[in-house]
Amino acid sequence: MVYLDNSATTPICNKALETLVKYSSENYYNPSAIYLQGVSVNSDIESAKQTITNALGVKYNNNLIFTSGATEANNLAILGAYRKSFKKMLFSVGEHPSVYNVALELKKRGVDVDFVKLQQNGEIDYIDLENKLNKEVSFISIMLVNNETGAINDIHRVFELKNKYCPDAILHSDGVQAFGKIKINLDFLGVDLFTVSAHKIFGPKGIGALFVKNKNLLNPIIFGGGQEYGIRSGTENVGAIMAFKSAVDDFGNIKDNYNHVSKCVDAFLGELKTINCLINSHHSPYVLSLSFCGINGETLVHMMEKRDILISRGSACSSKKSGNRILENMGLTNEQTLGSIRISFSKNTTIEDAIFAGKTLYECYNELKDRLK
Residues 73-102 that bind ligand PMP (CB under 6 A): 96, 98
Whole-number minimum distance, CB 199 to ligand PMP, in Å?
Answer: 6
Q: Where are the beta strands (DSSP E) in the chain?
A: 2-3, 64-67, 88-92, 113-116, 137-141, 170-174, 193-197, 208-212, 277-281, 287-292, 309-310, 340-344
Whole-number minimum distance, CB 196 to ligand PMP, in Å?
Answer: 9
SS3 helix, strand, coil % of the chain, rounded to 5? 40, 15, 40
Residues 168-227 that bind ligand PMP (CB under 6 A): 174, 176-177, 197, 208
CA separation, residue 372 to residues 213, 305, 367 (Å): 55, 20, 9
One-letter identity of residue 63? N
Contact string (CB under 6 A) for ligand PMP, positions 144-173, x = contact: ---x--------------------------
Whole-number minimum distance, CB 256 to ligand PMP, in Å?
Answer: 23
At 304, give phi and psi (nearest 5°).
-65, -40
Among 4, 10, 49, 69, binds ligand PMP (CB under 6 A): 69
By the rule CB under 6 A, 70 interacts with ligand PMP:
yes
Region class of 63: left (phi > 0), else alpha (psi between -120 and 50), else beta: alpha
- Total residues at interface with ligand PMP (CB under 6 A): 15
Task: Closer to ligand PMP by CB, 10 or 98: give it.
Answer: 98
Stretch that binds ligand PMP, among 39-47, 64-72, 103-111, 275-283 (CB under 6 A): 64-72
Stretch that binds ligand PMP, among 31-39, 83-91, 155-163, 313-321 (CB under 6 A): 313-321
Distance linking the first and last C-alpha atoms of the chain:
30
Whole-number minimum distance, CB 38 to ligand PMP, in Å?
Answer: 27
Mapping DSSP onto H, E and C, the string for 30-99 reads: CCCCCCHHHHHHHHHHHHHHHHHHHHCCCCCCCCEEEECCHHHHHHHHHHHHCCCCCCEEEEECCCCHHH
Stretch that binds ligand PMP, among 69-77, 113-121, 255-263, 274-282 (CB under 6 A): 69-77
Name the burial class of residue 368, with classes exposed (0-12), middle (13-18) and buried (19+) by CB atoms within 10 angstroms of its CB. middle
Task: Closer to ligand PMP by CB, 115 or 365: give it.
Answer: 115
Bridge partners (DSSP) listed for residue 342: 289, 312
Based on the residue annotation, tell me whether 317 is a catalytic residue of this protein.
Answer: yes
Angstrom distance (rounded) from CA 368 to CA 153? 35
Task: Closer to ligand PMP by CB, 98 or 349: give it.
Answer: 98
Contact string (CB under 6 A) for ligand PMP, positions 97-136, x = contact: -x--------------------------------------
* Angle, helix 238-249 to helix 14-24, in steps of 10 degrees: 160
Selecting among 13, 166, 293, 317, the annotated active-site residue is 317
List of residues contacting ligand PMP (CB under 6 A): 69-71, 96, 98, 143, 147, 174, 176-177, 197, 208, 315-317
- Catalytic annotation, residues: 317
